[in-house]
Structure 1
Amino acid sequence: MNIRTILPAIVLMAASTALAQPPEGDDINRKSTYQYTPAKENLEAREWFQDARFGLFIHWGVYSVLGDGEWVMQNQGIPAKTYEKLPGFFNPVRYDAAEWVRIARAAGMRYITITSKHHDGFAMYDSKASDYDIVDRTPYGRDVIKALVEEARKEGIKVFFYHSQLDWHHPDYYPRGRTGRASERPESGDFDAYLRYMDTQLTELLTNYGPIGGIWFDGQWDKADENWQLARTYQLIHRLQPAALVGSNHHQSPFPGEDFQMFEKDLPGANTTGFNTTAIGALPRETCETINGAWGFNLQDRRHKSTKELVQYLARAAGADANFLLNVGPMPDGRIQPEHVERLQQVGQWLQVNGASIYGTRQGPIAPRSWGVTTKKGSTVYVHVLDWQDAEIAIPSLGGTPRRATYLKGGGAARFTVQPDGTVLIALDPKARDDYDTVIAFEM
């Protein structure tokens, strides 16, 4: 990799100031004395984040050319020098940032998280720390991240940057982790030099694109016992943009300096994938899931989730007090697959009627059940009936005395009685039934 020797003054100054004196006890991924006190604007951003509830995840990179997912370099054992040819084929002439933002808005999404750099080490923005990026190495030659940020800002949608800590291309990512061993890089390197390179790229992202929603880290699990100098990196982010939220997909309980806890392909407290922690911390939560079976574009992937599955996952996430970050993997020409656009539009149509039961809510008084979940906002409790099999449904106490109940679909009154033990018996109206999620608003 050709590292340029001259960086813009603002990048160099911010990075050198941040990296000069790493704090004592920096190994916060193991044992730490690092203390983090979030700024006022950070706490406000956390509140906004919880209210937003629904975001669009975008995995897009030169790997889309091969149509075999974002892990193609690892899965096909492609050496780094061979993989370097791939950017020459990446020319997304049908990429339209305004259209992507329109799709997100129509789906009812409040923020977008996009890959600025994935595990293959290729930057999807104009990096000055390396020429291994979309501007310098592809025939397209334009900064797709900048275009997306500008269009999203016009529409009031926040943008987060997914940034891989793991790097299968950089020579200083050494010793090797669990992955990337077929890259045929020299068996030597300076890991701290790599971390400083990563922080320099983060500085670019935090200084060249205006205010952003935050940084979404991934890849620390590749070398879970390594000293990642997290305090140094997290302090850099919080100093440059105090409101930016930091999250990391390390599958463990949050570390000092992080602002939200994420769960990959699992709701909080579950571990069906085998790598998530079941411990739930006090930070805002987010669960991410694919719209089909892959994160990056996969030509032969037909495992498209139905609109019903997506709406119900959104409801179950809100019922677990978590955001839902739903992923699409755009095609190499820059378009989002039509079948995915259609599903997103349908989710958005459901939210136009039922959004009050999702946006700005918190976990309801009843723990998730097989039949559904509850959410709450102010004095209103929303009952989400996801599995409707009987004409009546009995639910535990709603934490108070309900005064009235209304179906969000159609606005009709819902008939109910309260039993002596507090159980609420609801007589479900077939005319108010929603094929995805029947929501009843109880005013307490």
Structure 2
Amino acid sequence: MRTMKNALLIALVVMLNINTGFAQNSKKVKKLSDDERMEWWRDAKFGMFIHWGAYSIIGGERDTKIAGGGAEWAMDKLDYTIKDYEKFPEMFNPQLFDADAWVSMAKNAGMKYIVLTSKHHEGFGLWDSKVSDYDVMDTSPFKRDIVKELSEACKKQDIVFCFYYSIVDWHHPQAQGNLYPNYNISQHDDPSVVNPEFPKYYENYMKPQVGELLKNYGEIGVVWFDGDWISDYTTEMGKDLYKYIREIQPNTIVNNRVDKGRTGMDGMDKEGNFAGDFGTPEQEIPDTGIDSDWEACMTMNGSWGYKPSDNKWKSSEDLIQKLVDIVSKGGNFLLNIGPDGYGRFPSESIRRLNAMGEWTQKNGEAVYGASASPYEKPSWGRYTKKDGVLYAHVFDWPKEGTLKLHKDIKIKKATVLTNSNTILKSIGTSREVLLDVPMLAPDTTVSVIKIELAD
């Protein structure tokens, strides 16, 4: 009798759990307008890109050879066969990986979102995929779901979690290899090279994997695609994929590489052609910005993936000025980190993150939520604007103690952003507005003057 009661109790608990789960899953998410959906991203301005995978073990080196360009392309650049390369995912065991520490470093640097490479061109996944065994849970000895740990750490620290997914896959047979002598021949976007198996890879592998990432790891801020250049991937696939993503998570943002690199809102450009939600200039800052939402992605040295031989690091001052330059043109800055195979950020990256954090902590008001400059670029730096306030970001501090502003700026009150107690005097001339500033720059990298505008 007791056994029967216990069985009935267990059945009741199971039914309650099923009903509760169904109720939660069936709860509809409010679909935001495009402007509402993009609002957090437009305000965030600064994010962290993380390129991490089995290539992080290699470091861009094979015997005496060093891969040219980014070390994340080691499989291709160092001429590994698919079979030879598979030993690296089988070795991937980053015991020093600490998701909370990674997110803390991003947050302390002033970054508001993180984009992790869930799967790069090598095809190795950093989550527990049921579609494939070529992932961190099945192939590697690590047996920890990296996407899960990082997404949970982001949620705890109020950082928006996003993922990158490569359309290119050098490992999957239907995406490349068994059809060509060179598994990466399609990277050249040669229309004469046709892969009849690619649609099967898209429908049965790529699309379901993207679905897993959207369904199993909470709210996703951005889905960031790459590899759109290959001839086998079509605009029709991009349209289908964009629609699929928005059906699962209606408020998720998708970059323009879901298609062939065009820009626009809600999947359409100004001519009504398919695109993505924002543009993605890579390793460059457009001279005048882009007439739509955009995000510049950039490395700290020359490589996206971990590459110890690459010592050409951008200075902290340069990176801070790049952040300001991008924001002044209406864009976001996605700055990359390439952790090593143990799960450590390079010390050079950490030092630069710390410097950027010190600056954004003092001057973030002039960055977050700011809009593009209404004026042409001044010789001494950049402008940003927000809520009736103009911010003058001074790269080259005037030695004579006079900052020359655009002549039609009407000042109500001007102060150094980090010292609101001292009001700066100004006088207008026929050619410019002259602002008296301290003889010594308040900040050694970028000093910010807060100008409250008169009505």
TM-score (norm 1): 0.83
* CA–CA distance in structure 2, aligned partners of residues 88 and 178 of structure 1: 23
Is the Cα contact below 8 Å between 2:397 and 2:441 reproduced in 1? no
Structure 1 residue 162 displacement after superposition? 0.6
Match of 2:438 in 1: 429
Match of 2:303 in 1: 294
Match of 1:155 in 2: 157
Match of 2:97 in 1: 95
Match of 1:65 in 2: 57
Match of 1:113 in 2: 115
* CA–CA distance in structure 2, aligned partners of residues 369 and 177 of structure 1: 54
Is 1:208 aligned to 2:216, yes or no? yes
Deviations 1:106-134 (A, max 9, x none): 10110000101101111111111110111
* CA–CA distance in structure 2, aligned partners of residues 427 and 181 of structure 1: 60
Length, aligned pairs only: 394
Match of 2:249 in 1: 241
Match of 1:267 in 2: 285
* CA–CA distance in structure 2, aligned partners of residues 88 and 224 of structure 1: 29
Partner-residue secondary structure (3-state), 1:137? coil
Match of 2:17 in 1: none
Q: Which structure would you say has the larger Rg? A: 2
Match of 1:8 in 2: none
Alignment counterpart, residue 194 of structure 1, candidates 173, 177, 201: 201
Is 1:180 aligned to 2:184, yes or no? yes
Counterparts in 2 of 1:207 and 1:389: CA distance versus 1, 3 Å: same
* CA–CA distance in structure 2, aligned partners of residues 296 and 378 of structure 1: 39
Counterparts in 2 of 1:228 and 1:419: CA distance versus 1, 3 Å: same
Is 1:56 aligned to 2:64, yes or no? no
Structure 1 residue 413 displacement after superposition? 2.5
Structure 1 residue 268 displacement after superposition? 3.1
* CA–CA distance in structure 1, aligned partners of residues 95 and 392 of structure 2: 45
Match of 2:230 in 1: 222
Is the Cα contact below 8 Å between 1:107 and 1:345 reproduced in 2? yes
Is 1:395 aligned to 2:419, yes or no? no
Partner-residue secondary structure (3-state), 1:215? strand
Is 1:417 aligned to 2:427, yes or no? yes
Coordinate RMSD, CA, aligned: 2.5
Match of 1:5 in 2: none
* CA–CA distance in structure 2, aligned partners of residues 83 and 324 of structure 1: 33
Match of 1:323 in 2: 332
Aligned residue type for 1:81:
K
Match of 1:375 in 2: 384
Structure 1 residue 41 displacement after superposition? 5.2
Report 1:5-24 matches (<5 A).
none
% identity of equivalent residues: 38
Alignment counterpart, residue 360 of structure 1, candidates 346, 363, 369: 369
Is the Cα contact below 8 Å between 2:170 and 2:184 reproduced in 1? yes
Match of 1:14 in 2: none
Partner-residue secondary structure (3-state), 2:255? strand
* CA–CA distance in structure 1, aligned partners of residues 378 and 329 of structure 2: 11
Counterparts in 2 of 1:176 and 1:370: CA distance versus 1, 3 Å: farther
Partner-residue secondary structure (3-state), 2:101? helix
Counterparts in 2 of 1:414 and 1:251: CA distance versus 1, 3 Å: farther
Aligned residue type for 1:417:
I
Structure number with the bigger relative contact order (C-alpha 8 A, sep ≥ 6) is 1
Deviates further, 405-414 or 325-334: 405-414
Is the Cα contact below 8 Å between 2:75 and 2:122 reproduced in 1? yes
Counterparts in 2 of 1:75 and 1:432: CA distance versus 1, 3 Å: same
Deviations 1:214-257 (A, max 9, x none): 20011112338845511110000011001100003454444525
* CA–CA distance in structure 1, aligned partners of residues 73 and 352 of structure 2: 25
Counterparts in 2 of 1:225 and 1:199: CA distance versus 1, 3 Å: closer
Aligned residue type for 2:116:
I
Aligned residue type for 1:371:
W
Alignment counterpart, residue 32 of structure 2, candidates 32, 37, 40: 40
* CA–CA distance in structure 2, aligned partners of residues 169 and 417 of structure 1: 66
Is the Cα contact below 8 Å between 2:186 and 2:231 reproduced in 1? no
Is the Cα contact below 8 Å between 1:126 and 1:143 reproduced in 2? yes
Match of 2:166 in 1: 164
Is the Cα contact below 8 Å between 2:262 and 2:276 reproduced in 1? no
* CA–CA distance in structure 1, aligned partners of residues 128 and 115 of structure 2: 18
Is 1:336 aligned to 2:336, yes or no? no
Structure 1 residue 45 displacement after superposition? 2.9
* CA–CA distance in structure 2, aligned partners of residues 151 and 383 of structure 1: 35
Partner-residue secondary structure (3-state), 1:134? coil
Match of 1:131 in 2: 133
Listed as ranges, the gaps of 5+ residues in structure 1 are: 1-37, 271-277
* CA–CA distance in structure 1, aligned partners of residues 168 and 150 of structure 2: 24
Aligned residue type for 1:120:
E
Counterparts in 2 of 1:80 and 1:181: CA distance versus 1, 3 Å: farther
Is the Cα contact below 8 Å between 2:186 and 2:230 reproduced in 1? no
Is the Cα contact below 8 Å between 2:383 and 2:390 reproduced in 1? yes
Is 1:314 aligned to 2:323, yes or no? yes
Deviates further, 361-370 or 164-173: 361-370
Counterparts in 2 of 1:162 and 1:321: CA distance versus 1, 3 Å: same
Counterparts in 2 of 1:358 and 1:170: CA distance versus 1, 3 Å: same
Is the Cα contact below 8 Å between 2:263 and 2:277 reproduced in 1? no
Counterparts in 2 of 1:178 and 1:245: CA distance versus 1, 3 Å: farther
Deviates further, 245-254 or 284-293: 245-254
Structure 1 residue 269 displacement after superposition? 4.6
* CA–CA distance in structure 1, aligned partners of residues 395 and 419 of structure 2: 17
* CA–CA distance in structure 2, aligned partners of residues 168 and 370 of structure 1: 47
Listed as ranges, the gaps of 5+ residues in structure 2 are: 1-29, 61-70, 188-193, 269-274
Deviations 1:139-167 (A, max 9, x none): 10111110000011011110111111111
Is the Cα contact below 8 Å between 1:177 and 1:223 reproduced in 2? no
